Amino acid sequence: MKSGLAATAAAFAVLSLTTATVGAEAKATLKDWPKIVSPVANDPAMEKRIAEIVAGMTLEQKVGQMTQAEIRSVTPGQVRKYYIGSILNGGGAWPEMNRHASVADWARLSAQFYEASMETDMKTPVPVIWGTDAVHGHNNVFGAVLYPHNIGLGAARDPQLVGDIARQTAAAARATGITWVFAPTLAVVQNPRWGRTYESYSSDPALVREYARYYVRGLQGDLKGGTAAVATAKHFIGDGGTYNGKDQGENRYSRLDMINVHGQGYYGALEAGVQTVMASYNSWNDVAAGANHGKMHGANDMLTGVLKGKLGFDGLVVSDWNAIEQVPGCERAHCPQAINAGVDLFMVPDDWHEFIMATINDVKTGVVPMSRIDDAVTRILRVKMRSGLFENPPASSPLNGRSDGLNNDSARALARRAVSESLVLLKNNRALPLDSDRKILVVGKAAVGFASQLGGWSMTWQGTENAPEDFPNAEDFLTAARKAVGAVGKVDYSPDASNVDVRGYDAVVAVVGESPYAEMKGDVSFPASLQHTDRYPEALALLKAVSGKGVPVTTVLYSGRPVYANDLINLSDAFVAAWLPGTEASGITDVLIRQKAGSKSSTSSDFRGTLPFDWPLAACPQSGKKADYLPRGFGLTYAKPSAVHTLPVKPAPKGCVAPAE
């Protein structure tokens, strides 16, 4: 028997030869940024109209248009008074800070903001546009269907599915009177330490590009219709490639890597006509070329030179939340560098008033040229006009105020299918599928409630501080399992497997997961390891309590990243990476539990997901070291069963050593 990592890789490798479906790689290597032709053509009549409106605007009105304020910090009256061009609701912001606000409440607030924007003293009133982080369904809104986070969709390798989810997400947004969505995230993540890994579809640039195309087409539709929403390609550029996976950190890849890896998603989004791009918090230091481009919000060469120039983007660039303060020399509400670099619309959530004052002054003193202001406003009006906002108020959507726009049978069925497709089977030594007429013991805290199942960007920003009542339409694993066995089988539950006799059951399903997290708080920073049980020792205790008793154990892991889990895999007869599946856990039981003949429940299907990222085979995997990972593309199925043998588990190191700075 071989020892160490080589044996681990070998245990899987035999299988990957026979069962893996490897995603298509980007074969051609680009030498320069490609010119992308948008399907949304420049319309001379529209451009003329925009030019006339801009020509009739005062400086105050123009700068107001360039400002995006947050609903917790701005009123409709202020939108009217200051000509504010855009509003957003941040993660965990709801109308009147009521987390259970209804669809009608959202639509009513939207109408108030819209009407205020149309009642200004501008020569031509310009409608306000509302943006939201609907990143896995309309996730801030009570009662919404939440789809798997992007990492799970990446596992599914199904672009059509992604397009359908985008279409449903647009409909949900329109039900609440919101016409702009801050998605898709097109990060091509290289290091799972990053806390936003789950917002990334894959480390495969070709897959990210294809998904970007389908997502933007699905969300934007014909752009003008009452069920369409404006999309945002984010975060430009290189967020998935920061050194050591540090959030908002420094990307040190070469120009060719930027073009061929991190840029690919933008090509897909632009090919589909995406109308907005969000700048990224990260910086880019092309060490190999000795070219430090600095923070992207201040990088004229990237925002203006590459994005608006070479790539041909004619929509608007929005800044990220308070991101301008990170540009050297800038403050939270004052950053002429970012305006001059090419940011058009400024997400200054709370300090919008200071931003307006400071920017007006910058124009008056010549720090920012009027031509740049006019260009920014032109782009903002272009997006508003193309998306039909001038003619059709948000309230004119046939879905406006309708709760069935947010949650309906077809959206739930779509989410459920997405969950099924996203599951990756890493081990199955004849434990799965489970028959529905058996006695099943479900263990693990993650089987009940929603925190681990939904992850971050769910009702709240970090996905924390939520209660089960916040997701009235959602189904957790235990509920789904009970439905799946119906009256023919039996499901018992114990959170920690104490006081139960495992031997009294035909099978055990252990559901373990991470506590939810999002940007800023989700990084696994050195010296922490990527071993799941280092952070969640209770998962190991749980599996030790149920395994080795002659009853097959299936582990379902909820996680926002690939993790090192050899210890848990060894204690399991079957192991399923379920990512962050969202509100429809029945998508898991559809695949795990086989319906006995005569039952009228849905038919069970096979696994089809494959790893969207390399999966760590070491607690401290080294970036780029092949032996430390099970490669992207791996995934078992029922159709081609094969056993996984005991994996080597090295004693957990005291800590991982960070690569030199």
Beta bridge partners of 233: 277
Sign of the C-alpha dihedral computed for residues 321, 325, 331 and 334 taken in this order: negative
426 neighbors 616 (Cβ within 8 angstroms): no
- Range in contact with ligand BGC (rule: CB under 6 A) among 91-99, 153-161, 426-434, 630-638: 91-99
Q: Smallest distance, Å, CB 518 to ligand BGC?
A: 8
The least distance separating ligand BGC from the CB of residue 78, rounded to whole angstroms, comes to 19
Report d(CA 30, CA 441) in Å as an integer. Answer: 53
Task: Decide if 250 is catalytic.
Answer: no
Q: Which of 194, 461, 505, 575 binds ligand BGC (CB under 6 A)?
A: 461
Q: In this chain, which stretch among 90-98, 529-537, 587-595, 625-633 interacts with ligand BGC, using CB under 6 A?
A: 90-98
Q: How far is the CB of 520 from ligand BGC (least distance, A)?
A: 6
Nearer to ligand BGC, 180 or 607 (CB): 180
Q: Which stretch binds ligand BGC (CB under 6 A): 86-94, 309-317, 492-500, 529-537?
A: 86-94
Residues 227-246 close enough to bind ligand BGC by CB under 6 A: 234
Choice between 281 and 390, CB closer to ligand BGC: 281
CB closer to ligand BGC, 92 vs 137: 92
Spatial CB neighbours of 552, under 8 Å, sequence gap ≥ 6: 430, 431, 507, 508, 573, 574
Q: 54 and 374 in contact (C-beta within 8 Å)?
A: yes
Q: Which helix (H) or strand (E) holds 428?
A: strand 424-428
How far is 186 from 163, CA to CA, in rounded Å? 15
Which tokens belong to 303? 């925002």
Question: Alpha carbon of 40 to those of 53, 167, 222, 223: distances in Å?
Answer: 21, 18, 9, 9
Q: How far is the CB of 234 from ligand BGC (least distance, A)?
A: 6
Kindly list the distances between the CA atom of residue 183 and the CA atoms of 175, 298, 316, in Å, as whole numbers in the listed order: 17, 22, 14
Pick the catalytic residue from 421, 519, 567, 628: 519
450 forms part of the interface with ligand BGC (CB under 6 A): no
Smallest distance from ligand BGC to CB 8, Å: 35
Nearer to ligand BGC, 113 or 390 (CB): 113
Shortest Cβ distance from residue 137 to ligand BGC (Å)?
15
Per-residue binding string, ligand BGC, 132-151, x by CB under 6 A, is -x------------------
C-beta separation of 147 from 110 below 8 A? no
Q: C-beta of 150: minimal distance to ligand BGC in Å?
A: 12
What span, in angstroms and rounded, lies between the C-alpha atoms of 333 and 324? 8
Q: By CB under 6 A, which span of 88-96, 488-496, 528-536, 590-598 interacts with ligand BGC? A: 88-96
For ligand BGC, give the closer residue by CB, 297 or 427: 297
Residue among 105, 210, 320, 421 flagged as catalytic: 320
Shorter beta-carbon distance to ligand BGC: residue 133 or 158: 133
In this chain, which of 210, 362, 475, 519 binds ligand BGC, going by CB under 6 A?
Answer: 519
3-state SS of 80-141 is HHHCCCEEEECCCCCHHHCCCCCHHHHHHHHHHHHHHHCCCCCCCCCCCEEEECCCCCCCCC
Residues 404-423 binding ligand BGC (CB under 6 A) are: none
Q: Does 92 bind ligand BGC (CB under 6 A)?
A: yes
Q: Is 45 left (phi over 0), alpha (psi -120 to 50) or beta?
A: alpha
Residue 277 pairs with which residues in a beta bridge? 233, 317
**What sections of 248-369 are H helices per DSSP?**
255-257, 264-271, 300, 336-341, 352-364
Cβ neighbours of residue 370 closer than 8 Å, sequence gap 6 or more? 59, 363
Q: 83, 57, 81, 55: which is closest to 68 by C-alpha?
A: 83
Non-local (6+) Cβ contacts of 347 within 8 A are: 68, 88, 318, 319, 320, 321, 322, 323
Q: Nearest approach, Cβ of 464 to ligand BGC (angstroms)?
A: 12
Q: Of the two residues 247 and 534, which places its CB atom closer to ligand BGC in the complex?
A: 247
Please, which residue, 92 or 245, has the CB nearer to ligand BGC? 92
Size of interface with ligand BGC, in residues (CB under 6 A) = 11
Does 352 sit near ligand BGC (CB under 6 A)?
Answer: no
For the segment 281-340, give every residue that binds ligand BGC (CB under 6 A).
320-321
Residue 182 binds to ligand BGC (criterion: CB under 6 A): yes
Give Cβ neighbours of residue 403 (< 8 Å, ≥ 6 apart).
102, 103, 104, 143, 175
Active site residue 320: yes
Only segment of 84-92, 167-175, 289-297, 651-659 that touches ligand BGC (CB under 6 A): 84-92
The CB-of-205 to ligand BGC minimum distance in angstroms stands at 20
Q: Distance between CA atoms of 465 and 458, rounded to whole angstroms? A: 10
Tokens in use for 579? 């990512």
Is 390 a residue that touches ligand BGC (CB under 6 A)?
no
Q: C-alpha 325: how far from its chain's center?
A: 24
Q: Name residues whose C-beta falls within 8 Å of residue 388's C-beta, 6 or more positions apart in sequence.
A: 223, 224, 225
Q: Which of residues 19-78 bind ligand BGC (CB under 6 A)?
A: none
Residue closer to ligand BGC by CB (options 89, 400) is 89
Residues that bind ligand BGC (CB under 6 A): 90-93, 133, 182, 234, 320-321, 461, 519
Residues labelled catalytic? 320, 519
